[in-house]
Amino acid sequence: MRRCGAGPNGPERARYHFRAEPNGWESMFGGPAWTRAPDGQWYLHLFTPQQPDLNWTNTDVADDFDATLRFWLDRGFAGVRIDVAGGLAKDPDYAEVGEQPVHPHWDRPETAAIHRRWRDLLDSYGDRVAIGELWGTPDRIAERVGPGRLHQVFQFDWAVAPWESLRDTAAQAIEELGKAGALPTWVLGSHDLMRVATRYGPRRAKAKALVMFALPGAAWIYQGDELGMENVEVDNGDPGGRDGVRAPMPWHATGTNSTLLMYRKAIALRKRFIVGRPFEWLPERPGVLEFRRGDVACVLNTGQRPVTFPGRPLHHSGPLDGGLLPPDTAVWAELVTPRY
């Protein structure tokens, strides 16, 4: 902030958003999105006052970000995760929210040019990727991926979908991304969401993870979910806040073996049986999500009673009930003749 507040006419000011008077934009953390500098001008921060928003129309900002990317890519990094990838561009007139059909600071069309610049730089290094943290419906996400755009965007609608709506949510993502010639990018959680084991319960969290590893596209793990971690109580006593999901990972095996071993086996079997295999939805049954990847069926029981599943079990998220799949449990089954 020292450089950000250096002189009203200095070149540093042009790298941020300063105004003589604030508008009505609000911070994501509550309250005004503007803070007054000692000289009386106001600077924009869509998050905390310690995080002033950069002005991406300024060439110094774009050039400096290029240098930062090159610094890490030159050291062999495989790619970058772009935080708040849809919140870069701002309305040049700082219009109030609701005054125009396009939002003044979220997911603006000018953002595409910024992403394209990053993609060009990454492509110059060969096989490097940019993954965007960008909330939106699958059709909007599809507009942000592909050649000249981001490589992947996290599928947060899948992360927060109601248990009974997982099939429809996954199907919509696969369909919309498919129109753009891309595949979805699945996640169970993030540093901004309550732990998946807290939101769904440990049993459902494991089952959902097994389904995620079988779906077409990339699967990302938020650190600690593979251990079955749940939100922890923090100093303010609120386990549901952002801090409750950002607790340090435990460096011992107690209480983690079951989930961790399930993840490890799923990743190994994914490479062997899932990746590169054709995807096909199996006939719908009430309370069941099921599809096929080549010779493996993935079945999730979201209903209240045990259900049948085809084939021979390869891996499952919890104990099976004889030859049946209990509620809140997923299974990978190797299909044998006769198939569905």
Catalytic residues: 83, 133
| Beta pairing class for 312-316 and 329-334 | antiparallel
| Beta pairing class for 329-334 and 296-301 | antiparallel
Tokens 């905390």 found at: 48
Q: Which of 133, 179, 138 is nearest to 158 (CA)?
A: 138
What helix, strand, coil percent values describe the chain, rounded to 5?
Answer: 30, 20, 50
- The DSSP call for residue 211 is H
- Residue 102 contacts residue 108 (beta carbons within 8 Å): yes
Q: State residue 98 phi and psi, 5-degree precision.
A: 95, -10
CA 14 to CA 9: how far, in whole Å? Answer: 8
- The DSSP call for residue 54 is B
Cis before 338 (ω within 30): yes
- Alpha helix (H) residue ranges in 28-102: 59-73
Terminal alpha carbon distance of the chain: 63
| 162 SS3 class | coil
Q: At what angle do helices 202-214 and 166-179 cross, to 10 degrees?
A: 30
Instruction: Name the burial class of residue 325, with classes exposed (0-12), middle (13-18) and buried (19+) by CB atoms within 10 angstroms of its CB.
Output: buried
- Residue 315 contacts residue 267 (beta carbons within 8 Å): no
Tokens 């006593």 found at: 237
Which H/E stretch holds residue 316?
strand 312-316
